[in-house]
Structure 1
Amino acid sequence: MDRESTSKKELEESQEIRFDGKVAVVTGAGGGLGRVYALELAKRGAKLVVNDLGGARDGSGPGSQAPADKVVEEIRALGGEALASYDTVSTPQGGEAIVRKALGVFGRVDILINNAGILRDKTLVNMEPGGWSAVLEVHLNGAYNVTRPAFAQMREQGYGRIIMTTSSAGLYGNFGQANYAAAKMALVGFMNALKLEGAKYNVLVNAVAPMAATRLTQDVLPAELFQRLNPEFVAPLVVYLCSEKCKETGRIYNAGAGYFNRVALLTGEGMLLGEGLRPPSAEEVSQHWEAINAMEGAREFPNAASSMEPMIRALAKAQRGK
């Protein structure tokens, strides 16, 4: 091997992302994306709690231990350490049990990937309350139920990495998925609050909108696209976000087919009507509708308080103009 090749190999080894000594909890890890996340983290040295209820795609049925057990066997065959959890994420008791298992066996929790999910797609007028609440219970409440005890442990440790699984359905909308879209966008709000609560404890929280071929997407994606979207093409981004190398928090990313990009919530400059001294009329809003909708110079804001800056600046400018 020549000197250049040796140097390149040494550089790659020095930059390798490892998770030795770290403990990861992955929900919905019995198949699809969750399985791939768990296997990749284990290959890189992490100890895993593989959580999966083993239910049907719509969350029905009695559940099965087989999916989680199979992934645990795969990890152990690779020489890794893993244990299975069959608890549901949809109850506080289930979430506590998942984290308690990690602490009881491995003594800590460093990484949490909230991946568990179900689908019950229907247009709104055909969606019964049970179909609405079932999806929110798993995606949104499930993330809360597991994150709360895990976050407490991470805060105590002074270290943690949490991944929320959002979706293009929530970020952009998708026909017939009002329940799923609402849950997935709510997770962005959850992340935005936790990024602030976790910042001083080195607990970083990010969201990923994966586009992958799994049992949840097999009826949603076109067949030709489905074949190209293996979960393995999403995992590299998630692995990076779970690592010590990652310093970002409160970010949203799309991931699919090896293509990654960041998603951001932007606020336009807008305009002040009535100089802040009198309530403007609806007619004034109509008259200035184009300016209100303009996105030139739109910006991101790190928190709710800072998002008031354009309004405060406009009020101050109006006051100076008197």
Structure 2
Amino acid sequence: MITFQDRVAIVTGAGAGLGRCHALGLAQRGARVVVNDVGDGGIAVVEEIEAAGGQAMVHGADVSNAIEVADMVAQTMERWGRIDCLVNNAGILRDKTFAKMDMEDFRRVIDVHLMGSANCCHAVWPIMRAQGYGRIVLTASGSGLYGNFGQANYGAAKAAMVGLMNVLHLEGARDDIRINTLAPTAATAMTEGLLPEAALALLKPETITPGVLFLLSEDVPSRTILSAGAGTFAVTRITETLGALIEGDVTPEEVAANWDTITDAAGAEALENAFAQTRKYALRAARAKGVALDW
């Protein structure tokens, strides 16, 4: 039984859609919840939680503003004295083809999704380290993992979640701070008009929140990309092929000639960190040249 009794959680962008579902789901299982939203929707969510006997507070921080985020975290600590869970859900869309996109719209989407997530993680990080416990969920998207026409800004911001997760996973492991990424596809105000009505009826936010609650639980892995939608859950992995070692002159022509081997998925693996990739290449080259490499 997954419970969040005595836990404190912050959910950003929680006034509607996925964030609202996440906040309600946490509260239903005992968490005290900070409902963050720049609009008025957060007030109604807090009232809903309190009406059901839970504890919640609202904060209107713009996550892209580090000062406002710091205030949210300070108020949370003043009221409840700890922060165990953080769900980085807040987001916006400014869709347009790259050729027609205003770069201010590109920057604003990056500010909310990437800098907003980084601001929130950075603000709770020392608290979680001192506690020796923390669970963080970042929110990516299929647009970032696989691409989507007209969403260069959104896709870039969402792909960045994976890089942020990978590093924070390594840096937080010692203090039992586990960080994972959700890649949801759901019917929300952000997707309204983009999907058929029949699909929207199936892609309810409520079908995704159980995955988030798992990612915030005590017994959870770290550095996982959980893709979710309409009740289906899958793990997205980044792997690297075994590749081809080109001996002698390394030329573009040799790369082309070895392309089938380079792209062969047999033996592909997920690497632990960037240094593991460096070590893989250096050791392979050393063995081919008969060089002793104590590594």
TM range (shorter): over 0.9
Q: Tell me the equivalent position of 1:294.
A: 264
Q: Tell me the equivalent position of 1:196.
A: 170
For 1:263 and 1:135, locate their aligned partners in 2 and report how far apart those are by CA, in whole Å. Answer: 23
Q: Structure 1 vs Structure 2: percent identity of aligned residues?
A: 44
Q: Tell me the equivalent position of 2:66.
A: 92
* Structure 1: runs of 5+ lacking an equivalent: 1-15, 55-65
Conserved? CA contact 1:89–1:95, under 8 Å: yes
Q: Tell me the equivalent position of 2:230.
A: 257
For 1:301 and 1:95, locate their aligned partners in 2 and report how far apart those are by CA, in whole Å. Answer: 33
For 1:111 and 1:255, locate their aligned partners in 2 and report how far apart those are by CA, in whole Å. Answer: 20
Deviation at 1:294, TM superposition (A): 1.6
For 2:290 and 2:97, locate their aligned partners in 1 and report how far apart those are by CA, in whole Å. Answer: 51
AA of the residue aligned to 2:114: L
Aligned-residue RMSD, C-alpha:
1.4
Task: After TM superposition, list the pairs within 5 Å mapping 1:126-145 onto structure 2.
Answer: 126-145=100-119
> How big is each residue's C-alpha offset from its partner over 1:27-73, in whole Å with a ceiling of 9 and x where there is no partner?
0000000000000100110001000001xxxxxxxxxxx20100000
Q: Tell me the equivalent position of 1:47.
A: 32
Q: Tell me the equivalent position of 1:224.
A: 198
For 1:320 and 1:222, locate their aligned partners in 2 and report how far apart those are by CA, in whole Å. Answer: 60
Secondary structure of the corresponding residue to residue 209 of structure 1 = strand
**TM-score in terms of structure 2 length:** 0.96
Aligned residues: 292
For 2:225 and 2:127, locate their aligned partners in 1 and report how far apart those are by CA, in whole Å. Answer: 24
For 2:213 and 2:288, locate their aligned partners in 1 and report how far apart those are by CA, in whole Å. Answer: 49
For 2:103 and 2:286, locate their aligned partners in 1 and report how far apart those are by CA, in whole Å. Answer: 47
Q: Tell me the equivalent position of 2:255.
A: 285
4+ long deviations beyond 3 Å: none
Deviation at 1:140, TM superposition (A): 0.3
Conserved? CA contact 1:94–1:145, under 8 Å: no
AA of the residue aligned to 2:238: L
Deviation at 1:307, TM superposition (A): 1.9
Q: Tell me the equivalent position of 2:7.
A: 22
For 1:138 and 1:128, locate their aligned partners in 2 and report how far apart those are by CA, in whole Å. Answer: 16
**TM-score in terms of structure 1 length:** 0.88
Computing the radius of gyration from Cα coordinates, the structure with the larger value is 1
For 2:274 and 2:72, locate their aligned partners in 1 and report how far apart those are by CA, in whole Å. Answer: 32
Q: Does 1:166 align with 2:140?
A: yes
For 1:308 and 1:196, locate their aligned partners in 2 and report how far apart those are by CA, in whole Å. Answer: 17
Q: Tell me the equivalent position of 1:304.
A: 274
